[in-house]
Amino acid sequence: MITEVTDILVIGTGSAGYCSAIEAARRGRSVLLADKGLAGKSGCTVTAEQIAAVIPGMIRGDSAEIHYRDTLEAGKGLSDPALVRIMTEEAHRCIEKLERLGALFTRNRDGKYALDPMNGHSYPRSLYYKDITGKMIIDTLKAEAERIGVGVMEDVQIISLITGDNGVSGAVGLNFRYAQPVLIRARAVVLASGGAGELFPLSTNPVQSTGDGLILALKAGAVVRDIEFYQFYPVCLVYPKTLSGFVLGISQFGRLYNSRGERFMEKHDPVRMESATRDILSQAIFREIREGQVGPHGGVYLDATGLNEEIYEEYSDAISITRKHGIDLKIDRVEVRPAGHYAIGGIKINEKTETGVPGLFSAGEVTGGIHGANRLGNNSMLDTVVFGMRAGRFAAEYAAENGGEKADMEQAIGEIKRVKTLSERGVRKYAPWQIKKRLQKIMDEKVGIIKSKDQLVSAGRELKTLEDQLREETGVSARGFFFNRSLRDYLETANLLILARAIVLASLEREESRGAHFREDYPDVVGDEEAVSLEITLEGGDPVLQKRALSGETQ
């Protein structure tokens, strides 16, 4: 067993993880970053295209206050106003910090930022660097982390947080590279492990997005809120396969058709058409798919031909990538459909990114409460940067005064034994990937864009069966820990199943349509003032639910 000792353990190496690590390290704390895959490569940041932020003096009339109101408006009464206030007000300073570290954002000749409009934002306020903004940010953060000596552990999957009377005292993981369990003693832990795109068959996320952080937090006693809100990116390529899940941001300027050649957005949102919000677009496309109005690969058609050259220039990366695969967006129609994109709900945090479990902090997509019932485009990158930096700061402050208790070795050894037993299972009736594939089908058809009671109840039953099958009849064919993909698939599928059941539970309870949660049997949208937050905790391995009324102070 490998043992590591650090002040702060950060789980996940996307933007939120790196921002936390850098802020904590700058305060003189020792920091260790852990990632299941290669650092900076396994999160969504590397594929992100823009970041929203109001920079004073850029656009006349815009302000952090309006950004705050836009975000609350999209959140439909479920956003935590205090968190949104922080995100929108600290945006400017965080962008400035990123720039000082070397991040580049495209500017006009007059030195002002080039800003893009985005659906739901009152003013153009999305910063970008070509369409490699996320990569630019993560490359910058990685370089800075390296410069100031942040430690990085790759190929390490955290399987459990170690908790005791005084909160978190570390974590246990598997190092697939060195084929050994790892014990990390830490005074504070920051969960920044991202979303769970793998819940769905088509996802814009990297394959590592399996909701591990949500389950780690739940098992440690934290609360997960509003997890029934899952955002779909409406327009993603389904074909060619080499690009399935590829986000086509250019779609807001294009036209969508079904297989009958109808521009179907005329029915659903005749004013905004293809620039409608993501939930409206996703539902419209999902309906066409359900009615079979699709092309040979199961998607509807996007026509982005005949657009302004400036638009093509801006999406040059998308155009050159698709061209390599034989598609010319300037000439060809392409097949598209919605893909799982963003977990809007997540770990409940306060202004200091505390989770309620002492020593456990959290930031980024794995958290909930900021985007409420629906997330505005380009607010997620901002969220990762603002709350990532805060998590680092508050975790560092906490670690300066707390922690250092001996990790509960019994707990750690118990976890390692559990996983070791799994690794010795051998072949059984099912392989973990088969269970995961069936889970994805259930989620896509019954728990995704359009939900109803009957479908949810049936999904809940099927998921329970899958969980039994995973526990009893599913093997782990490869042995040991050395890059054991089937073991990793098993552990991830187990996490996805708990999460899927939690989503079904909350989706059933929420008998209304709001934001990204749409119930066909309750299509009427309830007013913001009646908003109730649904909180999930874990009891005996099963998700349980509590309702929490939100005070109407959304302004």
Partner 1 sequence: MSSEAFSVKIFKFDPSIDATPYYKEFLIETGTGQSVLDLLKEIYRNHDSDISFRFSCRLGKCGVCAVRVNGKPVLACQTTVENGDVVIEPLKGFPVIKDLIVERETYRDRLKSARPYPDRADRSGGSSVQKLWADPNASPFLCTDCLACMSSCKALSRIPWEFPGPAFFTNLARWHYHPLDRSDRPALAIRSGISHCTACKSCSKVCPKGIDVYKEAIEALEKKP
Burial class of residue 331 in the structure, from the number of CB atoms within 10 Å of its CB (0-12 exposed, 13-18 middle, 19+ buried): exposed
Question: Which residue lies nearer to partner 1 by CB, 94 or 227?
Answer: 94
Pairwise CA distance, residues 204 & 215, whole Å: 21
Q: State which amino acid sits at residue 402.
A: N
* Region near partner 1 per CB under 8 A, out of 63-71, 120-128, 132-140, 250-258: 132-140
Looking at the Cβ atoms of 20 and 486, the one nearer to partner 1 is 486
Ranges within 63-82 binding partner 1 (CB under 8 A): none
Number of residues that bind partner 1 (CB under 8 A): 49
Question: Using CB under 8 A, which of 486, 493, 495, 554 touches partner 1?
Answer: 486
Q: How far is the CB of 96 from partner 1 (least distance, A)?
A: 4
Question: Taking CB under 8 A as the rule, which mask of x and - marks residues 36-55 in contact with partner 1?
Answer: -xx--xx---xx--------
Q: Which of helix, strand or coil describes residue 164?
A: strand
- Among 56, 61, 111, 261, interactor with partner 1 by CB under 8 A: 111
Chain centroid, CA 62 distance in Å: 28
Is residue 59 at the binding interface for partner 1, with CB under 8 A as the rule? no
250 secondary structure, DSSP code? G
**Residue from 477, 522, 526, 545 that binds partner 1 (CB under 8 A)?**
477
Peptide bond into 240 cis (omega under 30): yes
Cβ 274 to partner 1, closest distance in Å? Answer: 22
**Three-state DSSP state, 459:** helix
Question: Which residues are 168's β-sheet partners?
Answer: 163
Which C-beta is closer to partner 1: that of 326 or that of 540? 326
Q: Of 165, 532, 247, which is closest to residue 373 (Cα–Cα)?
A: 532
Instruction: Give the nearest distance from C-beta 438 to partner 1 in angstroms.
Output: 13
Pick 2 or 179: Cβ nearer partner 1: 179
83-91, 106-114, 257-265, 508-516 -> range binding partner 1 (CB under 8 A): 106-114
Assess contact for 59 and 115: CB atoms under 8 A.
yes
Interface map 199-218 toward partner 1 (x if CB under 8 A): -------xxx----------
Rule CB under 8 A: choose which of 485, 511, 525, 547 binds partner 1: 485
Enumerate residues 411-470 that contact partner 1 by CB under 8 A.
431, 433
**HEC per residue, 356-417:** CCCCEEECCCCEECCCCCCCCCCHHHHHHHHHHHHHHHHHHHHHHHCCCCCCCHHHHHHHHH
Among 2, 3, 82, 100, binds partner 1 (CB under 8 A): 100
Q: Would you state the structure tokens that stand for residue 21, as one six-digit string? A: 């690590």
Q: 527: which DSSP letter?
A: P
Q: How far is CA 262 from CA 256, 293, 301, 303, in A?
A: 8, 10, 10, 12
In the structure encoding, which two tokens stand for residue 522, read together?
Answer: 């309750």
Min separation Cβ 141 and partner 1, Å: 10
Q: In this structure, are residues 46 and 133 in contact, taking their beta carbons and an 8 Å threshold?
A: no
* Interacting residue with partner 1 among 82, 241, 529, 552 (CB under 8 A): 241
Q: Which amino acid is at 468?
A: D
**Would strands 542-549 and 2-11 be described as parallel, antiparallel, or unpaired?**
unpaired
d(CA 231, CA 384): 17
Q: How far is residue 537's CA from residue 225's CA, in Å, rounded to a whole number? A: 9
Burial 67-79 (b: 16+ CB within 10 A, else e): bbbbbbbbbbbbb
Q: How many CB atoms lie within 10 A of CB 166?
A: 12
Supply the minimum distance, in Å, between the C-beta of residue 231 and partner 1. Answer: 18
From 35-43, 336-344, 381-389, 462-470, span contacting partner 1 (CB under 8 A): 35-43
Task: Please choose, out of 129-137, 370-378, 453-461, 500-508, the segment that lies near partner 1 by the rule CB under 8 A.
Answer: 129-137
The tokens describing 104, both together, are: 């580049």
Distance from C-alpha of 185 to C-alpha of 202, rounded to nearest angstrom: 37
Least Å from the CB of residue 452 to partner 1: 31
Closer to partner 1 by Cβ: residue 79 or 493: 493
Nearer to partner 1, 444 or 489 (CB): 489
313 contributes a contact to partner 1 by CB under 8 A: no
Smallest distance from partner 1 to CB 346, Å: 21
The 8-class DSSP code of residue 112 comes to P
246 vs 394, which CB is nearer to partner 1?
246
* Contact region with partner 1 (CB under 8 A), list: 105-113, 369-377, 390-398, 401-409: 105-113
User: From the CB of residue 397, how many other CB atoms can be counted at a distance below 10 Å?
Assistant: 15
Of 138-146, 279-287, 443-451, 521-529: span binding partner 1 (CB under 8 A): 138-146
Q: Return the range that interacts with partner 1 (CB under 8 A); candidates 214-222, 242-250, 303-311, 505-513.
A: 242-250
Q: Which residues bind partner 1 (CB under 8 A)?
A: 37-38, 41-42, 46-47, 96, 99-102, 104, 106-107, 111, 132, 135-136, 139, 143-144, 146-147, 177, 179, 206-208, 239-246, 320-321, 324-325, 431, 433, 477-478, 482-486
